[in-house]
Amino acid sequence: MPPRPEPPPGLYDLDHDALAALLEGEPGYRVSQLWQGLYAQARRPDEMTNLPKALRARLAEAARPGLGPLGEVLADDGETIKALWGIEGGGRIESVLMHYPRRSTVCVSTQAGCAMACGFCATGQAGFDRHLRSGEIVEQVLWAVGRTKERDRRLGNVVFMGMGEPLANYDRVWAAVERLHTDVGISARHLTLSTVGIVPGINRLAAEALPVNLAVSLHAANDALRDELVPINRRYPLDALVAACRAYLTAKGRRLSFEWALIDGVNDRDSDAAELAAIARPLRAHVNLIPLNPTPGYPTRGTPPGRVARFRDRLEALGANATVRRNRGTDIAAACGQLAAACTSVDAAAGPVEPAGAAAPIALRARPR
Ligand code: SAH
The pLDDT tens digits of the residues spanning 241-257 come to 999 999 999 999 998 99
Give the residue numbers marked as catalytic. 94, 336
- SS3 label, residue 216: strand
Residue 267 Cα to ligand 1 middle (Å): 15
Handedness of CA 42, 44, 48, 51 (dihedral sign): positive
- CB burial readout 198-217, b (16+ within 10 A) else e: bbebbeebbeeebbbbbbbb
Q: Report how far apart, in Å, the C-alpha atoms of 2 and of each of 127, 130, 198 are.
A: 11, 9, 22
Q: Is 93 in the pocket of ligand 1 (CB under 6 A)?
A: no
| Domain 8-64: assigned CATH number | 1.10.150.530
Dihedral (C-alpha) 286, 287, 289, 293: value to the nearest 10 degrees?
100
Q: What does the pLDDT read at residue 176?
A: 98
**Positions in the chain whose pLDDT score sits under 50:** 343-369
CA distances from 308 to 228, 246, 279, 305, 323 (A): 22, 27, 19, 5, 10
What pLDDT does 365 receive?
38
- CA of 307 from ligand 1 middle (Å) equals 20
Q: Evaluate: CB of 94 within 6 angstroms of ligand 1.
A: no
Q: Cite the residue boundaries of each domain of the chain with CATH code 1.10.150.530.
A: 8-64
The verdict on the CB of residue 113 being under 6 Å from ligand 1 is no
CB atoms within 10 A of CB 250: 9
Element (H, E) at 111: strand 111-113
| Closest ligand 1 atom to Cα of 230 | 15
Residue type (1 letter), 49: T
The amino acid at 139: E
Rg of the chain on CA atoms, in Å: 21
Contacts of 54 by beta carbon, 8 Å cutoff, 6+ apart: none
Residues 6 or more apart in contact with residue 320 via CB below 8 angstroms: 276, 277, 280, 281, 285, 287
Residues in the chain: 369
Work out whether strand 155-160 and strand 104-107 pair parallel, antiparallel, or are unpaired: parallel
Assigned fold of 66-364: TIM Barrel (3.20.20)
With b for 16 or more beta-carbon neighbours within 10 A and e for fewer, the 15-47 pattern comes to eeeebbebbeebeeebbebbbebbbeebbbbee
Check residue 275 and give its pLDDT: 98
Q: 306-332: per-residue pLDDT in tens?
A: 999 999 999 999 999 999 998 889 999
Burial degree of 308 (CB within 10 A; 0-12, 13-18, 19+): middle
Per DSSP, helices labelled H in the chain are: 16-22, 29-35, 53-63, 122-126, 134-150, 170-179, 199-207, 223-229, 238-252, 270-283, 305-317, 345-349
- CB 168 less than 6 A from any atom of ligand 1: no
Are 87 and 131 in contact by the 8 Å Cβ rule? The answer is no
Task: Give me the pLDDT at residue 342, please.
Answer: 58
Nearest to 278, CA basis, from 239, 221, 197: 221
- The pLDDT value given to residue 61: 87
Nearest CA to ligand 1 atom 26: 337
pLDDT of residue 1: 64
Residue 325 has a pLDDT of 92
CA 20 to CA 14: how far, in whole Å? Answer: 9
Q: Report how far residue 367's alpha carbon sits from residue 369's, in angstroms, rounded to the nearest whole number.
A: 6
CB atoms within 10 A of CB 239: 9
pLDDT in tens, 139-169: 999 999 999 999 999 999 999 999 999 999 9
Residues of the chain with CATH 3.20.20.70: 66-364
The minimum-distance atom of ligand 1 relative to the CA of 162 is 4
120 lines ligand 1 (CB under 6 A): yes
- Write down the pLDDT at residue 51: 95
The C-alpha atoms of residue 223 and residue 208 are separated, in whole angstroms, by 29
